[in-house]
């Protein structure tokens, strides 16, 4: 059984994912999930879960925030943010599909929210947020760090510096789903009150888990808000962990096994080295794009380092390219939503290296005869 699982991978029979999530998952990780089940109220589980939180805290240099790993993909934290951190009115900055989803989620949780839209492809700047916040009374604002639909990497550290200085009590919520763990981004350095990520992105793990880092101020604020739900009650989640080092409901234990061993690998490689590896892949892709007369979709200076979104200036069919790539057991992503065929996306996140990226780009060159 195990051999059947290993063999196709060794022969590279499966299609290797250069998508911006789910990303390629190693054989070692897949096998790590097949350990026997344990009860989630047993000390073996407590050791596993607390160990994971401790490793995350070490990896992300957490000194004073709360850390939580939830059994749900990253979008759950949009609901949690809306229900626990927005009392009166939120400002949602949007610059693509995923930041738009955050805006929609806050509204659908019954909270009042204004949108501050930035043109797709452009970055969200601190002065734009300061200006928007000065026009009304808000108690939360949201920013996506790495907009996976446009490839824009927003300057969240600078936003934190400038906006939290002016408005220290306004909750700063960051969606870092497709960058945390693969970028230089550190939760406390961003001054975020809640920042979240999914495991199927830069963590190179199967989908199904997400994590968030929460400021003490956010935890205190959540305690004062009604209607936090059950699975989305931040106070219940953090208090349960605080008392028992466990989760209130049954978690995806098999996925936690894989997160645990992946964190060992990430700690061994080091936060900065991982981010540098991603930056190297992004730089290589950008120079390849330029060399072949194409263009990055993101504003210069604000390009993502985990996913490169390339304008389809050559006017070739991205769908056909992917068909050919799949014959070679490789895949990239078409443009997202309205950017389909207008762009293509190379997700160089997770465990990929520059030399593997060169191989992928060589195949694209060959197929497109560049
Ligand atoms: C920036 C961003 N935010 C949110 C999401 C949604 O995350 P999930 O699919 O883990 O719920 C994604 C998924 O691609 C994303 O890229």
**For a substitution probing ligand 1, which of 19, 72, 74, 102 has the most ligand atoms within 8 Å of its CB?**
74
For residue range 34-92, list pLDDT tens digits in order. 999 999 999 999 999 999 999 999 999 999 999 999 999 999 999 999 999 999 999 99
pTM of the predicted protein model: 0.96
* CA 79 / ligand 1 centre spacing (Å): 13
Q: Is 79 in the pocket of ligand 1 (CB under 6 A)?
A: no
Write out the residue limits of the CATH 3.90.1150.10 domain(s) in the chain.
2-26+270-368
Positive or negative, the CA dihedral 198, 348, 192, 67 is positive
Confidence bin at 12 (pLDDT 50/70/90): low
CATH ID of 2-26+270-368, from 3.90.1150.10, 3.40.50.150, 3.40.640.10, 3.30.300.90: 3.90.1150.10
Tokens read off for 306: 């985990």
**CATH architecture classification, 36-267:** 3-Layer(aba) Sandwich (3.40)
Q: Is 178 in the pocket of ligand 1 (CB under 6 A)?
A: yes
Say which residues have a Cβ less than 8 Å from residue 14's Cβ, sequence separation at least 6: 8, 329
For residue range 318-353, list pLDDT tens digits in order. 999 999 999 999 999 999 999 999 999 999 999 999
User: Cα torsion for 224, 228, 231, 234, to the nearest 10°?
Assistant: -30
Closest residue by Cα to residue 73 from 149, 153, 175: 175
> What is the pairing mode between strands 152-153 and 89-94?
unpaired
């Amino acid at each position: 059984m195990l051999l059947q699982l290993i063999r196709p991978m060794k022969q590279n029979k499966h299609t290797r994912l250069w998508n911006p999530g789910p990303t390629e998952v190693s054989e070692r990780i897949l096998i790590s999930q097949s350990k026997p089940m344990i009860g989630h109220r047993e000390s073996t589980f407590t050791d596993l879960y607390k160990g994971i939180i401790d490793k995350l805290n070490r990896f992300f240099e957490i000194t004073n925030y709360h850390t939580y790993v939830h059994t749900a993909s990253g979008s759950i934290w949009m609901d949690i943010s809306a229900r626990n951190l927005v009392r009166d009115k939120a400002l949602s900055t949007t610059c693509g599909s995923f930041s738009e989803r955050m805006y929609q989620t806050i509204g659908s949780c019954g909270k009042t929210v204004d949108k501050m839209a930035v043109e797709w492809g452009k970055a969200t700047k601190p002065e734009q947020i300061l200006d928007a916040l000065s026009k009304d009374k808000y108690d939360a604002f949201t920013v996506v760090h790495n907009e996976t639909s446009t490839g824009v990497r927003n300057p969240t550290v600078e936003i934190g510096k400038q906006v939290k200085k002016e408005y220290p009590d306004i909750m700063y919520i960051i969606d870092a789903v497709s960058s945390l763990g693969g970028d230089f981004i550190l939760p406390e350095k961003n001054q975020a009150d809640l920042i979240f990520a999914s495991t199927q992105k830069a963590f190179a793990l199967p989908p199904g888990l997400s994590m968030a880092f929460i400021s003490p101020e956010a935890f205190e604020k959540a305690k004062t808000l009604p209607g936090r739900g059950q699975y989305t009650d931040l106070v219940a989640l953090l208090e349960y962990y605080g008392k028992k080092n466990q989760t209130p409901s049954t978690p995806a234990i098999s996925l936690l096994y894989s997160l645990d061993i992946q964190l060992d690998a990430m700690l061994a490689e080091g936060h900065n080295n991982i981010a540098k590896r991603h930056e190297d892949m992004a730089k290589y892709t950008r120079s390849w794009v330029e060399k072949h007369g194409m263009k990055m979709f993101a504003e210069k200076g604000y390009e993502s380092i985990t996913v490169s979104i390339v304008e389809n200036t050559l006017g070739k069919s991205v769908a056909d390219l992917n068909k050919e790539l799949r014959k070679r057991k490789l895949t990239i992503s078409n443009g997202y939503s309205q950017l389909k065929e207008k762009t293509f996306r190379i997700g160089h996140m997770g465990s990929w290296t520059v030399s593997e990226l060169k191989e992928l780009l060589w195949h694209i060159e060959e197929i497109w005869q560049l």
